[in-house]
Structure 1
Amino acid sequence: MTVGGEIRGNFNIYYEGDNANGGDGSCNNDCDWLNISIFKGAAEIHRHTEQPWVAGNWKNIIFSYTITEENAIWDSVNDNPIVEVTMKVKGDRTNGALPFTVQGDPAAFGMKLASEGLVEFPVDDSSWSEDFQAGVEETPAEDTPGFTLVVASAAIAMAVFINAKKPEDEE
């Protein structure tokens, strides 16, 4: 991923029911607001918690997370990106006075991804190279370019000089 780039998301969420723990609703400390978690493999690197809104209405949810140095490299085997959306809501349905009847309202949850929904990841351009895709590590740039060529040339010149002297010594 590109350091300083943002993972961005935008989608619409709808719910009906109770999502607030305590109070006079149907939740008994087992409900939760909308949470959007971004995982790098099994490790959660960011969690966005959306404040509650009036039930029975769609809400546009926008979230982002800036990539840091420690989260820039994603291993293709273990670090697959995961976006997890969770929300625990409860309806207030109960059994009615007559058998096989119910009273109250059910809980509901909806998510729209259509044309306005998206999740974008800032993938670094270098990850598109064939060597990177094949898992070949890049060779680092030489600190002294051409040094090897100079040493090799000197060795060849030395060999020529020594070989040129041999016939004179034999005479």
Structure 2
Amino acid sequence: MKNIILFVFLLVTSIINEVTAQEHEDHHTFFRENSVTVSLGAGFNDEVSHLGLNSRFYYNVSENICFGPEMTWFKLSNGNIIETNFVLHYIFETPLVGIYPVVGSNYTKENLETETHDNWNLVFGVGIHRNFRNFGCFAEYTQKRFTHFENIFNLGLMYTIHY
């Protein structure tokens, strides 16, 4: 009798999950409207030649438009660098990945042993990502321009929270 009850419970649960999945089909490149995406990854800055820790928090306004803050922390032998970006993405669908331009602003603070520097820059670049239900991965190339000219590469994992 326990096995029959367990079987019926699992069957009903799987049917409910299937119906819910059909109502809210996850897309391989687009996000659900009014969802939030958080991510963690690695960043590489060619000027300092160090790996850094990158985190992001994006609000997905529509299925192909998102914006939000990013922060990358680089540990140096004589201090650290914190880069904070506020960016906007518009996602273009391809059969395998989403491709998006990166446009935004950057604030960089260099905390060195003997001195501290800070500056504002513009950020431009391009990225790709792929969704696997709520999880995903991304790769980006961006340039900082204005006060400094730097090339930055980011790789990471993301998780989307649906409301």
TM-score (norm 2): 0.27
Considering fraction of residues, name the structure with more helix: 1
TM-score (norm 1): 0.26
